[in-house]
Amino acid sequence: MAYIGKWVLGVACLSGLAGLPARGVTIDHSNFAAATSTAMSVMSKVGQLRWFFTHASVGANIVTGMNDLHGTDTNRYRLTIYSVGTAGGGANYRASTNPVSTSNGVIYECDRGNPGWANKLVCFSNSLVTSGWRFPKVNVAMDKFCWIDPDADSTNYCTLISQLEVRYPETLFIYLTMPLSGLSFDQNDERNSFNRYVRSFCAANSKHLFDVADLEAWNQAGVQQTYVSGGVTNQKMSFDYSEDTSSDWHLNATGRRRMALAWYSLAAALFAEDRDSDGSSDGDELLAGTEPANPDSTLEVHIAPQAFAGSGSNMVVSWVASTSRYYSIQRAVELAGSPVWSNRLADSLGANAFTDAVGAAPQHFYRLSARQ
């Protein structure tokens, strides 16, 4: 809140408390179902986010789970799916640029198949850099390996995502662990090694993690499925979530629902976590078009003049507008009880200032809000 004399202006997109230590959200077996009881006010915000997701067959299972969950309760689980095609090949492989315009509450998913783990990273990077699947087109981006990628280099994966985070700071990136097989061999050692590195990297660097492997490893009774190899305890997939018990490690209906709930729980958690401790949650910053990991990137409000001359005076409220954001200003005469807010500026695309005639009023209270 910015206080100037008796004029008070609140920024409606801000929430949370400044000064808390930075950390990332991790969604795993312990909290994947949180979205089932999350406040509807938060789930409404989740329904405003725009996502980009590159994947192959297990990712397609998760997308199916998202569709199915949406069908059970369209008010709580608001995200819908739009399938994006691919373009180019080799070093130019990427998601298509279409659609050019995007909408709130949509997951733009690209099934890029299995071209090899290195080319999967190339495809994801090109999709953002060349095809524009980043801010302001979407808010959140993520790429998922499959269980057939046990040789994927975890350092390369984390390095690429980190580089994209620096290049596109208004876009939020989600890190994912690699799915498992249900066997005590079948290159699960390599998958577990990859996953341990990604978890450690996310914990050390305040990154958001969708822990697919951990979700697969804990069965419905809450027992972790493990095996020991070389003195190291590794996770394996519970048969509760696999299509069969021998070779098909795609997700069955139970597994698909589990992953979909985890996705929503992760999305909801973004509106409770403020990694840059600027008083605005990561999720709210995405909706406002500011950078969720940069404390200097805020919806900063300025009021002029600093003093008022009574009747006939005007007050100018100004701010730095973000790309493709709509701004509204409301005014109330008091905050006690149930304040009555009147619209002064309604849903103005790209607005960065508003002038109000304040006259001789002893006080007014203003509220600025932003949406995409």
Three-state SS annotation for the chain: CEEECCEEEEECCCCCCCCCCCCCCEECCCCCCHHHCCCHHHHHHHCCCCEEEEECHHHHHHHHHHHHHHHHCCCCCCCEEEECCEECCHHHCEECCCCCCCCCCEEEEEECCCCCHHHHHHHHHHHHHCCCCCCCCCCEEEECCCCCCCCCCHHHHHHHHHHHHHHCCCCEEEEECCCCCCCCCCCHHHHHHHHHHHHHHHHHHCCEEECHHHHHHECCCCCECEEEECCEEEECCCCCCECCCCCCCCECHHHHHHHHHHHHHHHHHCCCCCCCCCCCCHHHHHHHCCCCCCCCCCCCEEEECCCCCCCCCEEEEEECCCCCCEEEEEEECCCCCCCCCEEEEEEEECCCEEEEECCCCCCEEEEEEEEC
- Residues 198, 176: Cα–Cα separation, whole Å: 8
**Tell me, what's the pLDDT at 10?**
52
Higher pLDDT among residues 198 and 363, named by residue: 198
How confident is the model over 46-75, as a mean pLDDT?
99
How confident is the model over 59-70, as a mean pLDDT?
99
Q: Convert the pLDDT of each residue in 87-119 to its tens digit.
A: 999 999 999 999 999 999 999 999 999 999 999
**Tell me, what's the pLDDT at 15?**
39
Q: What percent of the chain has pLDDT over 70?
A: 92
Q: Convert the pLDDT of each residue in 19-52 to its tens digit.
A: 445 789 999 999 999 999 999 999 999 999 999 9
**Tell me, what's the pLDDT at 371?**
92
Is residue 33 within 8 A of residue 259, CB to CB? The reply is no
Q: Convert the pLDDT of each residue in 315-359 to its tens digit.
A: 899 999 999 999 999 999 889 899 999 999 999 999 999 998 877
**Tell me, what's the pLDDT at 5?**
32
Report whether pLDDT(7) > 50. Answer: no
How confident is the model over 287-297, as a mean pLDDT?
96
**Tell me, what's the pLDDT at 147?**
97
Report whether pLDDT(289) > 60. Answer: yes
Equal fold, 2-11+294-371 vs 26-272:
no
How confident is the model over 363-369, as a mean pLDDT?
86
- Residues 242, 137: Cα–Cα separation, whole Å: 34
CATH architecture of 26-272: 3-Layer(aba) Sandwich (3.40)
**Tell me, what's the pLDDT at 365?**
87
How confident is the model over 286-311, as a mean pLDDT?
86
Report whether pLDDT(12) > 90. Answer: no
- Select, from the ranges 57-61, 303-307, 318-322, the one with the highest average predicted confidence (pLDDT): 57-61
Higher pLDDT among residues 21 and 268, named by residue: 268
Lookup: tokens for 180: 């498992």
Report whether pLDDT(66) > 80. Answer: yes
Report whether pLDDT(4) > 50. Answer: no
- Residues 187, 181: Cα–Cα separation, whole Å: 8
Four-way CATH pick for 2-11+294-371: 3.40.50, 2.60.40, 1.10.10, 3.30.1890: 2.60.40
Is residue 106 within 8 A of residue 54, CB to CB? The reply is no
Nearest to 199, CA basis, from 169, 163, 157, 229: 157
How confident is the model over 169-180, as a mean pLDDT?
99
How confident is the model over 191-215, as a mean pLDDT?
99
**Tell me, what's the pLDDT at 18?**
42
**Tell me, what's the pLDDT at 357?**
85
How confident is the model over 307-312, as a mean pLDDT?
65
How confident is the model over 293-306, as a mean pLDDT?
88
- Residues 16, 69: Cα–Cα separation, whole Å: 29
pTM of the model: 0.92
Question: What is the band of 302 on the pLDDT scale with cuts at 50, 70, 90?
Answer: confident
Average pLDDT, the chain: 92
User: In the chain, what are the domain boundaries?
Assistant: 2-11+294-371, 26-272
Nearest to 254, CA basis, from 238, 267, 235: 238
Give the distance from CA 299 to its chain's centroid: 19
